[in-house]
Structure 1
C-alpha cells in the first residue's frame, strides 16, 4: 500500500488460520492495512491471490469484545486470546481465526496514525 502524502499508513503482516467444518485447518498469511489518506474509517485484509476485504474499523474493534456483524462480515471473540473474522461470498463462507493481540496492536496503530495526522 503506498503511503499518503504525509507517509502515514499502517501495514501489519499476520498469520490467520482458515477454519473449516472438517478436522483440518490451514494457516494463511494476511496483510492488515490502514490508509487514513484514502479511507480513514476502514481497514483492509489482503489475502494471498489478491483477495481483499474492506470493512469499517469500528466493526473490527467491536468484534474483539463481543460478536459484531455488518453486511457480509462478522467478527467475534473466540475464547480468551483469539478472534474470528467471518467473510460471506457468493462461493460460501470463510472463517479466519487470528490472535486477538495482533488485531489489537493493529487497531492501536491505526488510531495512533490517525491522531498524529490530526495534529499536523
Structure 2
C-alpha cells in the first residue's frame, strides 16, 4: 500500500486584474507525517520563478472546506457553491487561490482512507524522530 498520496488540482489565482489566472498545483499527503498536507505550486506559477510548497494541518484543510479557519500564514474559507479560498501569507505578500471544493474533498477522502482522522498518532515514528533530534546519540 502506498504511503504517499499526490493529486493534481487546478487553482485560480486571484489577482488585481479582472481575470483569474489558472495555475497547476499538487496536493501531497505522506503517512509518515500524518497531521500535515502540502500544496506545491510549480516554478512558472510563482513570482520568484521557483517551486513553492506550503505545509499545513490536514484538519485545517478539512475544516476550511466547510467554514472559515486559520489564524496564521494559511487561512481557508468556503466560497460560493463549489470553491474553497486558500490564502497564503508570507513576507513577500499574500497569495489567494480558489480550488474546487470537490477536488479538496476527494483528496481528503483519500488521506482518511490511508490514515483515519483521530488515528494519526498511530503512524508517528517517535523513535526515529527522537534519534534525528539527538543526532544519533541515542
TM-score normalized with structure 1 length: 0.87
Q: Where do 5+ consecutive residues of structure 1 fail to align?
A: 1-5
Aligned to 2:134: none
1:70, 1:11 → 2: CA distance? 26
Q: Where do 5+ consecutive residues of structure 2 fail to align?
A: 44-50, 117-121, 123-138
TM-score normalized with structure 2 length: 0.76
After superposition, what is the alpha-carbon deviation per residue over 1:81-117, rounded to whole angstroms, capped at 9, x for unaligned? 10010000111100010010000000000010114xx
1:19-98 alignment to 2 at 5 Å? 19-37=14-32, 39-49=33-43, 50-98=51-99
2:66, 2:6 → 1: CA distance? 22
Confirm or deny: 8 A CA contact 1:18 1:94 kept in the other structure.
yes
Confirm or deny: 8 A CA contact 1:59 1:70 kept in the other structure.
no
Structure 1: 4+ residue segments shifted above 3 A: none
Tell me which protein shows more strand as a share of its residues. 1
Total equivalences in the alignment: 111
The structure whose RCO (Cα within 8 Å, separation 6+) is larger is 1
Aligned to 2:2: 7
Computing the radius of gyration from Cα coordinates, the structure with the larger value is 2
Secondary structure of 2:61 counterpart = helix
